[in-house]
Amino acid sequence: MAVDEALLLSFDPAASLPLLRLYGWQPPALSLGRFQDAALVLDLDRCRTAGVTIVRRVTGGGVIYHADELTYSIVCTPHHLAPAPSIKESFRILTSFLLIFYKKIGLEPRFATDACHGQRLGERMAFCFAGKETYDILVKGKKIGGNAQRRLKNIIFQHGSIPLKNRAEEGGTFMRERPHDILEQTSSLAESGIGLDEELFKSLLAESFRERMGITLQEDRLTTREQAKSAELVQKYRDDGWNLRGTYQ
């Protein structure tokens, strides 16, 4: 999370190129949405007993349990998506490369807005996987992964998850109010019969992003500025004030 924020804060909307980062989580962890209160939504005693790490994202939304997943983050500007879209439209554009990815591995993904006729979308849920947003992606009617966005002046930051295995039920046990029938609402690549090859998935994700954005991607490392900023931010993401309450000094 420190690296994600460093990429966001180091991005120059006048000069920086769009950026795609792919990463994973080890060990598993819970991430809170930017405005959630850990004590209100999580069973903190159970989290401590299980030794599960709690971290806060810079994006909004509900709690996500990160285990057996690939995670992506994107940093760009509205003019990279020209014509400059609304916030909602930018979310659709930046999430649609996942539709291409899922199709490449043999699935039939759909946006929730296209698949959930007559259902209420966008209801705020403490646990991310218990609700559906307009541009969440569904496979056979079940939510696969989650995505969230943050805006600064002329900068768009978005990240999201691609679940390799369905660990939503396990994640739900750390909530104060455990979601019901979560396995009936969520899916993963393993449940869809997709063999788990992380390096192939990373390659296909990058290929899908290139296709959707009409760009050329070049593999790169963190810049000196990004490295220094992420090293500085690590202290923030180790601080209970930030992770549990959203305050840091």
Quickly list DSSP for 22-60.
Answer: EE--SS-EEEE-TT--HHHHB-HHHHHHHT-EEEE-SS-
Please give the share of the chain, as a percent, with pLDDT higher than 70. Answer: 97
pLDDT in tens, 143-162: 999 999 999 999 999 999 99
Residue 154 Rama label (left phi>0; alpha psi -120 to 50; beta):
left
116 is catalytic: no
Q: What's the CATH code of the domain at 87? A: 3.30.930.10
**Cβ-based neighbour number of residue 216 at 10 Å:** 7
Higher per-residue confidence, 145 vs 117: 145
Catalytic residue among 47, 76, 116, 128: 128
pTM of the predicted protein model:
0.93
pLDDT at 82 over 80: no
- C-alpha 94/C-alpha 113 separation (Å) is 16
Q: Count structural domains, the chain.
A: 1
The 8-class DSSP code of residue 19 comes to: E
Domain that includes residue 209, residue range: 2-225+233-245
**Average pLDDT of every residue of the chain:** 93
Q: What does the block give as tokens for 117?
A: 């006729």
Sheet holding 142-143, edge to edge: 109-111, 137-139, 142-143
The separation between CA 81 and the C-alpha centre of its own chain, rounded to angstroms, equals: 20
- C-alpha 43/C-alpha 17 separation (Å) is 41
Helix (H) or strand (E) run with residue 3 in it: helix 2-10
Higher per-residue confidence, 54 vs 89: 54
Helix (H) or strand (E) run with residue 101 in it: helix 87-104
pLDDT at 236 over 70: yes
The 8-class DSSP code of residue 154 comes to: T
So what's the pLDDT on residue 131? 86
So what's the pLDDT on residue 119? 67
pLDDT in tens, 55-81: 999 999 999 999 999 999 999 999 898
Listed residue (213, 214, 188) closest to 201, CA to CA: 188
Higher per-residue confidence, 165 vs 131: 165
Cis omega (within 30 of 0) on the bond before 83?
yes
pLDDT at 83 over 90: no
Helical residues (DSSP H) of 116-240, grouped into ranges: 168-172, 182-185, 198-213, 224-237, 240
Check: CB of residue 42 under 8 Å from CB of residue 174. Answer: yes
